[in-house]
Amino acid sequence: MSARWLLYPLLLVVVGIFATALLLGFAAAMIWPTLPPLDIVTDYRPKVPLRIYSAEGKLIGEFGEERRSVVSMPQVPKPLVDAILAAEDERYFNHKGVDYMGVARAAIANFAHIGPKQGASTITMQVARNFFLSREKTLTRKVNEILLAFKIESSLTKEQILELYINQIYLGQRAYGFASAARIYYGKTLDGLSLAETAMLAGLPKGPSIFNPVANPARAKLRQQYVLRRMRELNVITAEQQADADKQPLAIKNELNEFATKADYIAEMVRQAMYERYKEGAYAMGLKVTTTIFVNHQTAANAALRAGVLTYDRRHGYRGPEAYADLPPNATEETLEDALQEYAESEDIFAAVVTEANAKRVKAYRRGGEAIEISDAGLKFAGDALTDKAAANQRIRRGAIIRVQSDDKKRWNITQLPVVESMLLSADPRDGAIRALAGGFDFTRSQYNHATQALRQPGSSFKPFIYSAALEKGFTPASIFEDKPLSFSAAQTGGEVWEPKNYDGKYDGPMSMRQALVRSKNLVSIRILQAIGTRYAQDYITRFGFEAKLHPPYLTMALGAGNVTPMQMVGGYSVFANGGFRVKPYFIQRIEDGKGNILFQEKPVRAKENAEKVIDERNAYIMTGMMRDVVRFGTAAAAMKLGRGDLAGKTGTTNDFLDAWFGGYNAELVAVAWVGYDQPKTLGRNETGGAVALPIWINYMGAVLKGVAEVPLEAPQGLVGTGSDAVYQENGPRGGESTGETPAEGAPAAPAPAPDSARNQLF
């Protein structure tokens, strides 16, 4: 009797199991037809971001919501596979999508409250969830997840499923897939990872935010130790390997150094070009764009620009704190962080809020919890702002938001973000390949690309193009012009009286064209333009890539009163550098799709091959000789510190010191530097192209030409003499008929503009 009663519970259990199985079977039969098709995994097309590379193949930019690098299973090292399986699914190759032993273990552990709450999702189930399902924790979703796992296992091999997982799983820091995570966290490819690094990455799928080594290094270390322990228990590593890996520090790569160099402006140019061509697909189809940028050139350009701008800024004194925060007496770290929230950092220039200040010492808080102290030489730049004499809006006191910078001895100094802007652009004159483009002081502060967007007056840096036109008209470097005052009446100009002057206000009488260029004599340049005709000059400069409409046919053209972009100036100087050929500056070499197929390959025009010859090679040679003299003993003589004899160039300063320029080159590299304010205002008395822009150019060229042999200037046929003393064998008008316009001493053939029209404008 008692035995019969014992059978009842057993029967109930069996019936319950059978009923549950029937119910699950019925549910599965109902749900199975509604499951989504597996096209998304059988024809896997991941969202791979747009990646931008230097000419050497180094990553310099990336755009896309998901950072992902797709790899195939043969590219995945075995230790990484072992680590992933140890952490996530040790019986992966022995189940059909659902690990029943794992489910039972998790159920028992969770029921008995043994350790942290456990799950039983296999890698296949995780793939199903990541591709098809939400993360809501409901019974329906779990059933769908299990059924999808069965369906995936019936359609794909284990290797294919694991490959999907390795490429798709989210691992923090916007990294999708292990190859991307290896690059972002360690700056390595998968085959370059150590065992310690492998274990850390393998621990991330469990909780990308909880175990993120950037945000939670302590938790990340614990998770790494768990993965190493599981690998040891599964005998895929030895005890010695486990111990060695455990001793290694996390050593996470600083994400600020993710790219080989800072190239935000050129990366943005590429992004815009790719969006124009591929629209939104540009950010997900895995495009690989190889640019013409050289990493060492870009790095040198960035450093030269920032050093030059900061040097100029310091010359003009400390402007005071950027703002003031109202700090309570016992300000907490949270309060201090809030005070700094809206102040972005600029590379090595950091925002800080002052907590204590007197004439001898300043204490401040820097974002991230660092308390710093500034004293002695670190206060020198802002010393006046620490005295009682300082104006209320310039005084450094508690709550002041200041900028600080660490010197080479790790000492903090008070500094400030400059208001002035700058640009440096370089290219190979033989084919127009851009080698460096620093479009502004800091891209995070202003995305306005001065190299391509800013139309500014070039000042005297435009004179070489007028002198080149004069050579074509039959003049020579030895041609004599008067350096003495000129005056144009209101009747002649159609506006106001115009009395142009030399920069230094001095006049030296008769001098050669060569001397006038070397000394940048404005009055001689005007007389040269009078002699050749403004209409002729306006047409002639289009040979160099300038737009005629931006250079009205007035005598002010001789002083660079038209408008140019730095990109146009680089193209113009390239004509002189390459012997008279017009090359088009370009920045994209090649575009590839995610599979390596070439979608676009640039076919640049090359000087002396397929480029258009726009000026006589003798003209280019003579102009280079004259501009070498500018560098040897003229307004750019400071460049002689580089110790090279193959450099040529011209300084430029506009009216009221609104713009400072220097354009220079040798046979293999052209570079143009510019400094000015976005809303034009004076840079200050004596802040000329030679004082402000030239130092930037010198620092850049000194870095990139170090150890590079000089390129000799070979004289073309048809010349008598060498360098700046050369003349055409048969001297006479070149490039067109005489315009019949009035020669040097007469009034201008076309109305000269009023002085205000020679001022800068920014469009």
Active site residues: 88, 460
Instruction: Tell me how many degrees the CA angle 425-183-54 measures, rounded to the nearest 5.
Output: 20
Q: Which residue has the tokens 């080594």?
A: 213
Per DSSP, the three-state class of 495 is coil
Instruction: State the virtual CA torsion across 741, 745, 751, 754 in degrees, nearest 10.
Output: 150
> Burial level of 230, CB count in 10 A (0-12/13-18/19+)?
buried
CB-based contacts of 238, cutoff 8 Å, min separation 6: 232
Q: Which residue has the tokens 């050929």?
A: 581
Rounded CA separation 239/231 (Å):
10
Closest to 415 in 3D by CA, of 407, 425, 427, 423: 407
Rounded CA separation 113/333 (Å):
38
HEC assignment per residue over 79-128: HHHHHHHHHHCCCHHHCCCCCHHHHHHHHHHHHCCCCCCCCCCCHHHHHH
457 within 8 A of 562, measured Cβ to Cβ: yes
Considering Cα of 337, then 339, then 343, then 347, what sign does the dihedral take?
Answer: negative
Rounded CA separation 661/650 (Å):
8
Amino acid identity of 588?
I
Question: In what helix (H) or strand (E) does residue 195 lie, and over which residues does it extend?
Answer: helix 195-202
Closest to 130 in 3D by CA, of 118, 138, 120, 141: 141
Q: Which two tokens stand for residue 245?
A: 């890996």
Question: In what helix (H) or strand (E) does residue 337 lie, and over which residues does it extend?
Answer: helix 333-340
Distance of CA 94 to the CA centre of its chain: 49
DSSP state of 752: P
Q: Between helices 123-132 and 78-88, what is the axis angle to 10°?
A: 90
What residues form DSSP beta bridges with 613?
581
